[in-house]
Amino acid sequence: MTIDVVEVKRRLLALLNDSNLVNEYVRQYGPSIDIKNIKAIKEAKKRNSVHLEGEGIGEDPIYQIKVKCPVCNQENINCYELRAKSQQILQNKFLVPVYIGTSGFKTLDYTLLSVTVCPRCLFASSDKKDFYRHDNTSRSEIKTQLTSNVILTLQEKIGERKALLKTVTDYESHFKRPRTYESAIDSYRMCCSRAKVEAWYEQPNALYKLGAYTLRIAKIMKDASSDNTETFREALGYFEEAFKTSNCPTEEIEMQVIYLITVLYLKLGDFKKANSYIGVFNNLHNARNAEMRENPKLNTVIIDKWADKAKYLWEDRDRSDLFIEE
């Protein structure tokens, strides 16, 4: 880095008052100061912040708790929790939550805030059970649900996680509220880094988590008007691996995986592959019927529920607007 670039960054920091915004400015416009570009990047941040703070009037549906990192023992990490019954939670075709404010609460896309990120080592999870946290009732610390071998490997990979963020240096500011689209996507990339370690140790649901996190990235990219085709392909790879390796501890998760593979192939225009997974549902239904002759306690309810959802989309596969809202 030359002295000129250092000086430009110093002056930009005085003008923008945000080191991450300075890095984004230099990435977009290079190491030169232009008032029009400064105004543009400020406006972009403002638009992003307005969107992320929620729509309409009403009470804030978010409250904060403090958690402790299981990897580096950083304390007092902000964890953004959603108040009970503050949002009507629907799902899009890719099972990504869609939030609508209820009971006097404003609408807020909690997907953007649901990941808690340690500002020291970048360990991240959308499940607070992965962190140490305080139990107010027993006044004791609740331990993380992560296994010791996963934690040890995550300690070894701190440098890899930091490398993924490239120009970001102020991690705490980057992931604080309100989060930009970029920081929300980064939070899920940190989640994926953790889940890949879990997948290495063949932890249940690890591959499903990787696919689900990636679909949330695809949704955020769509909201940010970015091309998310390759992100859908990435998610598809995780779900197919989950199906092939039986990394689904429950029948409900397994059926969701087959459904999501079907939907992703439809989204990507590969109708032949989508139809082959419709066939998987049919085979599972027939196999279960045969098993029910020996064990009448069994049923096909879960299989049929997800098969029907997939078949409804298959029947509409030629509609040009099938995924217009996704």
Tell me which long-range contacts 274-278 makes (C-beta under 8 A, separation of at least 24).
Answer: 274/314, 274/317, 275/314, 277/310, 278/307, 278/310, 278/311, 278/314
Residue 53's pLDDT is 56
**How many degrees, rounded to 5, is the angle at CA 150 between CA 219 and CA 77?**
60
User: Does 151 share its domain with 37?
Assistant: no
Please, are residues 310 and 277 in contact by the beta-carbon 8 Å criterion?
yes
66 with 191, same domain: the answer is: yes
| Residue closest to 183 by CA, chosen among 130, 91, 116 | 116
Tell me which DSSP letter residue 295 carries: -
Mean pLDDT calculated for residue range 32-41: 81
> Where among 177, 205, 233 does a domain terminate?
205
> Is there a domain that residue 114 lies in?
yes
Residue 107 lies inside a defined structural domain of this protein: yes
| 49 pLDDT more than 70 | no
Question: Please, what is the end-to-end C-alpha distance for the chain in angstroms?
Answer: 42
Predicted local confidence at residue 37, as pLDDT: 82
Residue 287 has a pLDDT of 96
Confirm whether 292 is domain-assigned.
no
- b or e along 180-205 (b: 16 or more beta carbons within 10 Å of the residue's beta carbon)? bbebbbbbbbbbbbbbbbbbeeebeb
- Are residues 77 and 200 both part of a single domain? yes
Residue 1 scores a pLDDT above 50? no
> By mean pLDDT, which of 33-47, 61-75, 100-114, 203-217 is the weakest?
33-47
What's the pLDDT score for residue 241? 97
* Same domain, residue pair 77 and 39: no
Q: Are residues 66 and 187 in the same domain?
A: yes
Same-domain status, 194 and 144: yes
Query: Is residue 319 assigned to a domain?
Result: no
Domain that holds residue 46: 3-51
The answer to whether residue 302 is domain-embedded is: no
Final residue of a structural domain among 205, 230, 254: 205
Per-residue model confidence as pLDDT tens digits over 71-107: 999 999 999 999 999 999 999 999 999 999 998 999 9
Query: Are 97 and 186 members of one domain?
Result: yes
Instruction: Quote the number of domains for the chain.
Output: 2
| Cβ burial 121-148 (10 Å sphere, 16+ → b, else e) | bbbbbbebebbbbeeeeeeeeeebebee
In terms of domains, do 96 and 194 share one?
Answer: yes
Q: Which residue has the higher pLDDT, 48 or 30?
A: 30
CA distance 181 to 188: 11
Q: pLDDT tens digits, residue range 105-135?
A: 999 999 999 999 999 999 999 999 999 998 8
What does the pLDDT average to over 226-255? 96
Domain-terminating residue out of 154, 178, 205: 205
Q: Are 79 and 13 members of one domain?
A: no
Distance separating alpha carbons of residues 178 and 62, to the nearest angstrom: 11
68 and 44 in one domain? Answer: no
118, 76 contact by CB (below 8 A): no
User: Phi first, then psi: what are they for 98, rounded to 5°?
Assistant: -125, 130
- Is the pLDDT confidence value at 142 over 90? yes
Regarding whether 183 and 135 lie in a shared domain, the answer is: yes
Classify residue 147: in a domain, yes or no. yes
**Domain assignment present for 184:** yes
Residue pair 133/67 in contact by the 8 Å Cβ criterion: yes
Mean pLDDT of the chain: 91
Choice between 11 and 232, residue whose per-residue pLDDT is larger: 232
Whether the pLDDT of residue 138 is over 90: the answer is no
Q: Is the pLDDT of residue 177 over 60?
A: yes
pTM summary value: 0.84
Is residue 317 situated within a structural domain? no
